[in-house]
Amino acid sequence: MKRISIVLLVIAALLMVSCTQAAPPSGNGESSADTQAPGTSPASDPSSNPVTIVFWDMQGGNADYPVAAEEFAKKITGDHPNITIEYQSIPWAGATEVFASAIAAGQGPDFSNGFGFQSFQYYLMGELLSLEPVIENWRASGVLDNYDPALIDYFQIDGVQIGVPTGLEPRLFLYRKDWFDAAGIPAPQTWDDMYQAAQHFTDPANGVFGLVYPAEGGE
């Protein structure tokens, strides 16, 4: 069954290919072609072998987003003719079923982004490769310095890097000030305050719940 790695950036796929296959610099100013072993040719260099990478990208932004993202995928192929990115935009609605069905059939992507829980789910199913090569590349290039270490560590299981964060999505708590004023309850200052207030206002018989969290799809 095809294994997948949960990554947002298409360029990460390029990094994994180039970092694991490209010849190291010679350190003496000579090109890799100049220092090839006798009897070899640039065409025999593994980094020049054709590679097709299936990338599933969750729908972001408006209708212009997948168009721009696919053009970016084509640019990678233009810059690196041996790498072909098969780009597919995946709507958030029903994405959980799309991934589950494809992976069960052995037709999952090579790389994707997705819901935060997906990397944990598919790792435990044995369907993920470690992203340590990407992390090592980012560490060496300084990219990793742009991330909160806690966010990187969050996507690890038993020391295996199973994903990387692609963004933060802060959520705000809003409360009905008129309800609190009428009940003589001050605005919550702690989690305990919030839960106690939620219990006070909860009245299932009348369809009133003291604490609600909006969610849809796989969230």
Please give the pLDDT value at position 89. Answer: 94
CATH code assigned at 156:
3.40.190.10
Q: How many domains is the chain built from?
A: 2
Cβ neighbours around 54 below 10 Å, total: 19
DSSP-assigned letters across all residues of 197-217: HHHHH-BGGGTB-S------T
CA distance 134 to 113: 15
10-residue stretch averages of pLDDT, the chain, 219 residues long: 40 35 34 37 62 92 90 91 93 92 93 90 92 94 93 92 84 90 94 94 94 65
On whether both 193 and 213 belong to a single domain, the answer is yes
CA distance 219 to 115: 7
Under 8 Å between Cβ of 118 and 155: no
Phi, psi angles (nearest 5°) of residue 46: -55, -30
Give the domain range for residue 193: 171-219
On whether both 83 and 55 belong to a single domain, the answer is yes
Please give the pLDDT value at position 169. Answer: 75
CA distance 178 to 193: 17
Tell me, yes or no, whether 166 lies in a domain. no
On whether both 47 and 29 belong to a single domain, the answer is yes
Locate 85 and state its tokens. Answer: 């990115």
Query: Considering the entire predicted model, what is its pTM?
Result: 0.61
Angle at 208 between CA 205 and CA 213, to 5 degrees: 130
